[in-house]
Amino acid sequence: MIKKLITFSILTLFSYANNFELSGTVVSDNEKVITSRYMGYVTNVYTSEGSVVKKGSVLYEIDSSTLDSKKQEALLTLQIQKNQLNNVKTNYNRYKRLYKQDLVSKYDVEQLELNLRNIENMIAIAEAKLKEVEILYDYLKVKAPNDGLVIKKTIKVGEMAMPSVPAIILSDLSSLEIKTDIPESNLRNISLGQEVDVEISSLNLKTKGKIKAIIPNVNSTTHSFILKISFDNKDKTVYPGMYAKINIVLDN
């Protein structure tokens, strides 16, 4: 009886020693920092931290007054060039008739023709400038690049939106994974694609996961590596930042 008990204890201890439990955090593999492409004052903010947004929805808007002035200036320049073109065309056609009657020189006709080409080029430049300004209007409405959860918002109405300055951080809930650390000494016992047990106790979720990446830790003093684990959420709503437990059966 005692012998059987000792044998059972040894087997239990061996089984426990081959299981390694880690603590991890749910993170998004597709987290985007939203910034403005155009500088201006924020007139409206349509989202807040914790909001779930759809791809293409407007997150915030920037005042258009500066851009409106640029557009009016571009329109005015284009109209002036078109008026000049009409005048030069009228003179050019008149001079061609006079040239046929030998009343003006060929040089005069050629100068008007050259002037005509220059103005046509100026109109093309003015039209391109107007198109460029009109494209900028799209930048005034900052939109979500994908479905996601707003986990941070630093922009407010009345503040100046600046290019490359973070305004909103958007986390994709469809690309969640678990991030954890594992001691270097245990690396020889795990492998990419290895199946693990995952538990998110706050949701009463027990599921399976797979090791998708093994990454060296930037902090070399810890002698640990980062594991990224994909998992099946079983149609439950899981959020970044949730605590997770990972149980790994170590290879012998």
Note whether 242 and 198 are same-domain residues.
Answer: yes
CATH of the domain at 244: 2.40.30.170
Residue 206 domain-assigned? Answer: yes
What is the number of structural domains in the chain? 2
Residue 114 domain-assigned? Answer: yes
CATH of the domain at 97: 1.10.287
Residue tagged 């939109």 (tokens): 143
Residue 210 domain-assigned? Answer: yes
Residue 231 domain-assigned? Answer: yes
Length of the chain (residues): 252
Range of the domain at 229: 19-30+174-249
- Measured distance between the N- and C-terminal CA atoms of the chain, rounded to whole angstroms: 30
> Structure pTM?
0.71
Residue 69 domain-assigned? Answer: yes
| DSSP track, the chain | -HHHHHHHHHHHHHHHHTEEEEEEEEEESSEEEE-BSS-EEEEEE---TT-EE-TT-EEEEE--HHHHHHHHHHHHHHHHHHHHHHHHHHHHHHHHHHHHTT-S-HHHHHHHHHHHHHHHHHHHHHHHHHHHHHHHHHHTEEE-SSSEEEEEE---TTSEE-BTS--EEEE-TTSEEEEEEEEGGGGGG--TT-EEEEEEGGGTEEEEEEEEEEEE-S-GGG-EEEEEEEE--TT----TT-EEEEEEE---
Q: For the beta carbon of residue 104, count every other beta carbon within 10 angstroms.
A: 16
pLDDT in tens, the chain (252 residues): 444 444 433 333 344 457 888 999 999 999 999 999 989 999 999 999 999 999 999 999 999 998 999 999 999 999 999 999 999 899 889 888 888 888 888 898 889 889 999 999 999 999 999 999 999 999 999 999 999 999 999 999 999 999 989 999 999 998 899 999 988 888 888 889 999 999 999 999 999 999 999 998 766 677 789 999 999 999 898 999 999 999 988 755
